[in-house]
Amino acid sequence: MSDKTPLNIGMIGYGFMGRAHSNAYCKVGNFFDTKYQPVLKAACARSQESVQAFADNWGYETIETDWRALLERDDIDAVDICVPNNLHREIALAAADAGKMILCEKPLAMDTAEGEEMCQAVEAAGVANMVWYNYRRVPAVSLAKQLIDEGRLGKIFHYRSVFLQDWTISEDLPQGGEALWRLDVDAAGSGVTGDLLAHCIDTAIWLNGGISTVSAMTETFIKERTHQLTGEVQKVGIDDACAFLARFENGSLATFESTRYARGHKALYTLEINGEHASISWDLHDLHRLSYFDHRDDSLVRGWRSIHVTDGDMPYMDKWWVPGLQIGYEHTFVHQVADFLESLETGEPASPTFRDALETQKICDAVLDSAQSGQWTEI
């Protein structure tokens, strides 16, 4: 690996996403032949003890307890923002100002206004930027994109997507704090809309183009929860569930739904797209498979095909094992890092950029507005 160009990473945060990204930085060089090699230069978080343990576990060379100090370091090339949503904007603006590349967790921001400010900052600074909508890099989803772009589906009539979970059904679950900030509206901005539907929307607009108008409803089933930090019972400000109708710019219709109250589903992110000639569906619970139906098949043997996306001619899969042997969730991040590193070589930005992710932010905002107003809302 000695002849590779190091790319020094400064990681801010050490939670679930901090782990997933760190793993990706570690692995990418073993499997992808890129010019740049991520180097785990520094990990940063407020708790010295926690961040030191994290750094030891992953091999970060140094730690910081103040992200501003991290940004001042000359030995940091790229900053990875893995903190709650309400901190994205401030760090990103400062990082852009410091000339650092930025890899930011999704959703981009608390709202469109923040997101627009962030886009302008990175664009003005001219720094490479990317948002971690990792599901674009599931090989089966990348394959879907390829099939759609090749025109195999023909004119698109329908899109539908859900992201169903069941982990917040208990009334005893508190909100807020380290592990549960996603339930605290002040930290997260919204509930399932920004956390889960944002994934559905990002993939949808990548596969099927822009959304023009939405009609939404949201619900908060459990109205009050104890806050972990304050210890007090407080109003729950997030949406526990959200569903919306949409029309795409290409004339197709869509339904989207997300909830954390769908018993039996841990992380059931599904999508389906129906075209004139063919249809595709996919399911995160079996992420290594893609379902495909082609009406042009001989009618006697026409049916949904279950494609085991593990062959070398399928997206990213020549890097891994042999046909039939599946990869998992964490590989989506490895692929995204690989594409980011490649973008540094080619100068062609790796998607989704901040600007790409802003589009999802706008739709999330429109969805929440529509749920509030009870009106169809234009994007």
Query: By CB under 8 A, what part of segment 142-181 binds a second copy?
Result: 143, 146-147, 152-153, 157-158, 160, 162, 164-167, 169
Where are the alpha helices (H) located in 167-236, listed in sequence order?
177-180, 185-188, 192, 198-208
Length of the chain, please? 379
Among 10, 176, 275, 352, binds a second copy (CB under 8 A): 275
CA angle 349, 319, 33 (to 5 degrees): 55
Among 87, 229, 245, 379, binds a second copy (CB under 8 A): 245
- 135, 352 contact by CB (below 8 A): no
Provide the edge-to-edge strand list for the sheet that holds 101-104: 62-64, 36-44, 5-12, 78-81, 101-104, 129-131
* Number of amino acids touching a second copy (CB under 8 A): 98
Among 11, 70, 104, 314, binds a second copy (CB under 8 A): 314
Which CB atom, from 99 or from 374, has the smaller least distance to a second copy?
A: 374
Please tell me whether residue 95 binds a second copy under the rule CB under 8 A. Answer: no
Binding mask 119-138 for a second copy (x = CB under 8 A): --------------------
* Contacts within 8 Å (CB) and 24+ apart, 229-236: 229/176, 229/177, 230/176, 234/175, 236/175, 236/183, 236/185
Please tell me whether residue 263 binds a second copy under the rule CB under 8 A. Answer: yes
Which CB atom, from 45 or from 273, has the smaller least distance to a second copy?
A: 273
Quote the distance between the C-alpha of residue 223 and its chain's center. 27
Cα atoms found within 13 Å of the Cα of residue 240, Cβ hemisphere only: 20
Q: Among 80-88, 115-123, 204-212, 291-299, which window interacts with a second copy (CB under 8 A)?
A: 291-299
Among 5, 48, 304, 348, binds a second copy (CB under 8 A): 304
- The b-or-e profile of 79-110 (16+ CB within 10 A means b, else e) is bbbbbbbbbbbebbbbbbebebbbbbbbbbbb
Q: How far is the CB of 100 from a second copy (least distance, A)?
A: 25
Tokens representing 319 are 């890097």
Q: Among 81-89, 94-102, 199-207, 320-328, which window interacts with a second copy (CB under 8 A)?
A: 320-328
Please tell me whether residue 68 binds a second copy under the rule CB under 8 A. Answer: no
Please tell me whether residue 372 binds a second copy under the rule CB under 8 A. Answer: no
Please tell me whether residue 264 binds a second copy under the rule CB under 8 A. Answer: yes
In angstroms, the CA 141 to CA 146 distance is: 9
Binding mask 329-358 for a second copy (x = CB under 8 A): xxx---------------------------
CA angle 70, 132, 180 (to 5 degrees): 80
Near a second copy in 8-37, by CB under 8 A = 16, 20, 22-23, 26-27, 29-30
Q: How far is the CB of 186 from a second copy (least distance, A)?
A: 23
Q: How far is the CB of 119 from a second copy (least distance, A)?
A: 30
Q: Among 140-148, 227-235, 345-353, 354-362, which window interacts with a second copy (CB under 8 A)?
A: 140-148
Please tell me whether residue 267 binds a second copy under the rule CB under 8 A. Answer: yes
Q: How far is the CB of 150 from a second copy (least distance, A)?
A: 9
Q: How far is the CB of 253 from a second copy (least distance, A)?
A: 6
Neighbours of 19 (CB within 10 A): 17
Neighbours of 186 (CB within 10 A): 15
Please tell me whether residue 49 binds a second copy under the rule CB under 8 A. Answer: no
β-strands 377-378, 268-275: how paired? Answer: unpaired
Binding mask 195-234 for a second copy (x = CB under 8 A): --------------------xxx-x-x-------------
End-to-end CA distance of the chain: 47
